Amino acid sequence: MNWAYWNPVKIRFGNGLLDEVAGLIGQRRWALVTYDQPLFREFSARLTGIAGAPVVSITNIETNPDCADLAESCRQFGAAEPAEVIVALGGGSMIDAAKVLAASDGDFETVRRHLVEKKPLIEGAILPIIAVPTTAGTGSEVTSWATVWDSANGSKYSLAHPRLYPETAVLDPALTVGAPRGLTLATGLDALSHALESIWNVNGNPVSANYAVEAAKEIIETLPRLLERLDDVELRTRQMRASLLAGLAFSNTKTALAHNISYDITLKSGTIHGIACSFSLPMVMRWAMGAQPQCDAALRRVFGPDLEAGAERLGAFLRDLGVATEPSAYGVSAGEWNRLVGKALEGERGRNFIGRQAAMAA
């Protein structure tokens, strides 16, 4: 078995590290991408008090960065004094938006042509990013791609380029303490999906599997406890560490079938991404079982020797957290579900799934 693993992101992990970001910026002109919310205004003031003012602050993105909003973000970015580095302070949506800005050369049309018309990005113009996640789930701080939504046309794109790996990821678990229960649940399950989907993946390798197994075991143990004790910094630290490991796993494998299914679920019903990509995990796990010895071995490290019992436990884990595992709960009929799975299997992420034959036969 030939394999390779590569991730160029410098990682800093620990409580109180937000204050180190100024040193990472150095003397460079910097742009800030963050939320226009009271907590993030506090974080931003703390950062600018040390680093000085950014040349521009982009605050018009909320969740699921959409082409319409990103076009305005790029307009603001292009109109400002040129930045030399971008700081993304927030969840996965902020980091994804920062990647779009980094690739845009100040004009969203550059990114749109790349996504839609496959025209190459201006590689030399791609700016470095310092990613400061404030949720524990996305993994975007250690990947080279970003999700871009086009809700007006019912489409989803993936922006990807090796230069879009952040320069540095600064993971400060204390920044996640303010995340409410619903967001903590959804991002935690997104990380679980990243871990499991990198296991049942044609691109899996021993390094990604080790990261994924450790991440999945930790999330299954930690997340239910964290949801009962949202202000517990130790549990926040464990969850953020697990999310990072899952990110390091799927940074090399990408995701697989459950994520490809999730895109239509989110577009159809507005279901938050972390729920949309995790509710089908028990079903997808059953399709993966028996497809590849290495996958089964990794899953046994997570769930024990009886994989069918493990799939049952995974389903119970989700339901105990209040996540329904039947497609009908998301407004999808049986016939529509079969069509959706068939479509997802032909998608970019669906083609990464090792259990394609079992899924097609289901």
Domains and CATH numbers, the chain: 10-174 (3.40.50.1970), 180-361 (1.20.1090.10)
Q: Check residue 137 and report its DSSP letter.
A: S
Whether the per-residue pLDDT at 1 is higher than 90: the answer is no
> Which residues does residue 31 pair with via DSSP β-bridges, in sequence order?
56, 86
How far is residue 71's CA from residue 184's CA, in Å, rounded to a whole number?
A: 29
Q: Check residue 85 and report its DSSP letter.
A: E
What's the chain's length in residues?
Answer: 362
Q: Are 285 and 196 in contact (CB under 8 A)?
A: yes
Cα Rg of the chain, angstroms? 20
Nearest to 130 by CA among 275, 205, 281, 20: 20
Apex CA 139: angle with CA 133 and CA 144, to 5°? 105
Nearest to 130 by CA among 99, 96, 167: 167
Nearest to 191 by CA among 134, 268, 249: 249
Helices then strands, counting H and E runs in the chain, come out as 15, 8
DSSP string of 203-246, one letter each residue? T--HHHHHHHHHHHHHHHHHHHHHHH-TT-HHHHHHHHHHHHHH
> What average pLDDT does this structure show over 233-242?
98
Q: What's the pLDDT band for 106 if we cut at 50, 70, 90?
A: very high
Q: Are 140 and 102 in contact (CB under 8 A)?
A: no
Nearest to 126 by CA among 89, 160, 170: 160
The per-residue pLDDT for range 306-347, each reduced to its tens digit, is 999 999 999 999 999 999 999 999 999 999 999 999 999 999
In 80-222, DSSP assigns E strands to 85-90, 129-133, 145-150, 155-160, 168-171
Whether the per-residue pLDDT at 285 is higher than 90: the answer is yes
pLDDT value of position 156: 87
Nearest to 259 by CA among 162, 139, 117, 97: 139
Q: Check residue 75 and report its DSSP letter.
A: H
How far is residue 145's CA from residue 168's CA, in Å, rounded to a whole number?
A: 15
Q: What's the pLDDT band for 273 if we cut at 50, 70, 90?
A: very high
How far is residue 348's CA from residue 20's CA, in Å, rounded to a whole number?
A: 38
Whether the per-residue pLDDT at 26 is higher than 90: the answer is yes
Apex CA 8: angle with CA 6 and CA 12, to 5°? 125
pLDDT value of position 62: 84
How far is residue 212's CA from residue 214's CA, in Å, rounded to a whole number?
A: 5
> Beta strand 10-13 with 129-133: parallel, antiparallel or unpaired?
unpaired
How far is residue 77's CA from residue 107's CA, in Å, rounded to a whole number?
A: 8
> What average pLDDT does this structure show over 101-127?
95
Report CA-CA distances (Å) from 181 to 35, 91, 196: 18, 15, 22
The per-residue pLDDT for range 177-216, each reduced to its tens digit, is 999 999 999 999 999 999 999 999 999 999 999 999 999 9
How far is residue 307's CA from residue 50's CA, in Å, rounded to a whole number?
A: 51
What are the structure tokens assigned to 198, written together? Answer: 């990198």
Q: What's the pLDDT band for 250 if we cut at 50, 70, 90?
A: very high
